[in-house]
Amino acid sequence: NKDYEYNTATETALLEVKKKAEEEKYFDAIKTQYDALKLSMNHDKQADIEKNKEEIISLLEEEIVRRYY
């Protein structure tokens, strides 16, 4: 079982919201809600893989074909 790190598009967008809020000096006002939202969005990597297994396999097959044929 290999460890790997990735962010969902939603997590990336949430991080952008945090950066913008910090730049605009609003983050302190929303920190509690931000932390709660981030916690509720924690994803289970194994569940993500199982849920998207067919798409992952298809993408890997396409990439292998492109590289070797």
Return the pLDDT at 42: 76
Whether pTM > 0.85 for this model: the answer is no
Q: Which parts of 1-69 fold into alpha helices (H)?
A: 9-23, 27-40, 45-51, 53-68
Give residue 19's pLDDT. 98
- Find the mean pLDDT for residues 42-59: 86
